[in-house]
Amino acid sequence: MPTDKNTFSSWRRRLVQRAVHAGWAWAQRAGSVTAEHPGRLRFGAIGPATRLAFPLGTVFGEPWIHLGSHCIVAEQVTLTAGLMPDLDLGPDPILRIGDGVVLGRGSHVIADTTVTIGSDCYFGPYVYVTSTNHSYDDPHEPIGRQWPRMEPVEIGPGCWIGTGAVILPGARIGRNVVVAAGAVVRGTVPDHAVVAGAPARVVRRWTQAEGWQPPLRTPPPVPIPDGVTSDQLVALSGLDEETAARLAQLDDEGAGELARMEREG
């Protein structure tokens, strides 16, 4: 009986595909960088449970790069200290990244002079942070040949930097700031603010006296109660709306009865 060439070709393609995917998964595991397995990279500091995913972006000046613990650096993230490789940048770190920082895929952090990223900051993909900008003082000289301007950058702890945002030299971003996707930030941003636009401006801010101004349009999300297991969450996700509403009503009635008993007791 003749062999169906299309069937054989499909089987062979599936086999090759599985082999390629398995090989790539192995390369990702083997090529990632950690404190225990730094490969060729010799960072000034890299904390426990920090991982740089493979494939890496451009990385140089790593003796002047300090990475905190429990950081996630996604694929193709560029981290550089100094204008070019193999420079002596002195005794102090140039790029400091705190604990628990997440740098999204394809992001760039270019620290030709000091860049500091506080703990628990989360970057979306393709964020660009730089402490250097081109100068164009001489109108007769190509801009790329003119000496650049450098200013330190500081991003406070707890910030969320949206996809495609650009943080320019001299930026001072406070604590728990939201930078909207595509925003271009320079200058000082106060604590607990939301900035958007190019150039970025404050569109919302929280203060102790007034709360959020303008007020938030949606209610805050309800956190998952302590003690709830992942299996319970999966079971809840399968409930239809009517059943979920009945359970919520029973919970409210139970809470009301408990409050009544406390008052009478």
Q: Which residues are catalytic?
A: 134
Closest residue by Cα to residue 178 from 122, 110, 111, 103: 122
Strand partners of residue 129: 109, 167
CB 100 within 8 A of CB 130: no
Q: Which residue blocks in the chain are alpha helix, DSSP H? A: 5-31, 230-237, 241-264
Cis check for the bond before 142: say yes or no (omega within 30 of 0): no
Q: What are phi and psi of 20, to 5 degrees?
A: -65, -45
**Residues 6 or more apart in contact with residue 77 via CB below 8 angstroms:** 52, 53, 56, 57, 103, 104, 105, 106, 107, 108, 109
Amino acid at residue number 249: Q
